[in-house]
Amino acid sequence: MITRIVKMEFNKEKTTDFLVFFDNVSDQISNFKGCEGMTLMKDIKNPNIIFTYSKWENKDSLENYRKSDLFLTVWPKVKQWFSKKPEAWSLQSHYDGFK
């Protein structure tokens, strides 16, 4: 299992555009083969900082998504709204206390 965390910071006037766009594509991403689910979270102090937290069956599943037509359509649209370069981490759990 791979956990993918992406931190994105948006231009203040584009955050709502992103959220509307995300609502239209989130089910497609969550239902992509190998995706176990996804959460979108906003920073409490700065709502223009948004994280995606997704779980993938394995590294190949994540890479297949990143090479897919869906990603190649979504990412160029989203990145035009960034105020800073996004950061991303692909992680393996050592301990998971969530039930």
Task: Give per-residue pLDDT as tens, 4-18.
Answer: 999 999 999 999 999
Residue 27 lies in a domain: yes
Q: What is the pLDDT of residues 19-71, one digit of tens each?
A: 999 999 999 999 999 999 999 999 999 999 999 999 999 999 999 999 999 99
Residue 97 lies in a domain: no
Total domains in the chain come to 1
Query: Do residues 71 and 61 make contact, with C-beta atoms less than 8 angstroms apart?
Result: no
Residue 24 lies in a domain: yes
Q: Which domain CATH number covers 63?
A: 3.30.70.100
User: What global pTM score does this model have?
Assistant: 0.92
3-state secondary structure the chain: CEEEEEEEEECHHHHHHHHHHHHHHHHHHHCCCCEEEEEEEECCCCCCEEEEEEEECCHHHHHHHHCCHHHHHHHHHHHCCECCCCEEEEECCCCCCCC
Domain of 20 in residue numbering reads as 2-91
Model pLDDT, residue 98: 83
Residue 99: pLDDT band (50, 70, 90) is: confident
- Give CA–CA dist 5/28, Å, rounded: 18
